[in-house]
Amino acid sequence: MFGQILFGIMALVIVVTSIGVVAVRNPVRSALNLVANFFALAVLYLLLYAQFVAAVQVIVYAGAIMVLFLFTIMLLNLGAPAELAERFEWKRPITWGLALLFVIVLAGGVFARLGEAQPVPDNIGTVQMVGKYLFT
């Protein structure tokens, strides 16, 4: 029960921070949303008992890659773009319509295959399994 509640919370955090990455105009805040997204994804990996994948997610992506992104943003002194005010107002309904169509097609594909999932081995992604494959 606790795992399902934590999964729901982390899924919500991932969705909100993903929207924040693309919706926020400030590049630094967008990068921080991406960091939060990476950490929430690492928690989902831990819920799936994939400790090695979670550690790599935090070390490589949330650590090294995001430091590089933030360094580049700070070096270039990027701010919120002021010249993009509302030049493309007529494209907004088209974009929302295409996004809604994409979500409908994606949901149809997901719900059509519900119940067809193959069982996954219990030890996939664990540190022991990765070590076994690395040293044999």
Q: Evaluate whether residue 123 is within a structural domain.
A: no
pTM of the model: 0.65
Q: Evaluate whether residue 60 is within a structural domain.
A: yes
Could you give the number of structural domains in the chain?
Answer: 1
Question: What is the pLDDT at residue 18?
Answer: 95
CATH number, domain at 7?
1.20.120.1200
- Where residue 125 falls (left for φ over 0; alpha for ψ -120 to 50; beta otherwise) is left
Domain that holds residue 8: 2-79
**CA 41/CA 56 separation, integer angstroms:** 11
Question: What is the pLDDT at residue 75?
Answer: 82
- Whole-angstrom CA distances from 80 to 3, 19, 89 are 39, 17, 18
Question: What is the pLDDT at residue 135?
Answer: 86
The pLDDT confidence band at residue 129, using thresholds 50, 70 and 90, is confident
Q: Evaluate whether residue 122 is within a structural domain.
A: no
Place of tokens 């700070």: 74
Give per-residue pLDDT as tens, 46-104.
998 888 889 999 998 888 888 888 788 888 876 656 665 566 677 888 988 999 999 99
Q: Evaluate whether residue 16 is within a structural domain.
A: yes
With a CB cutoff of 8 Å and minimum separation 6, the contacts of 47 are 3, 6, 7, 10
The pLDDT confidence band at residue 37, using thresholds 50, 70 and 90, is very high
Question: What is the pLDDT at residue 79?
Answer: 60
Q: Evaluate whether residue 105 is within a structural domain.
A: no
Q: Evaluate whether residue 10 is within a structural domain.
A: yes
Q: Evaluate whether residue 41 is within a structural domain.
A: yes
CB 70 within 8 A of CB 31: yes
Q: Evaluate whether residue 19 is within a structural domain.
A: yes
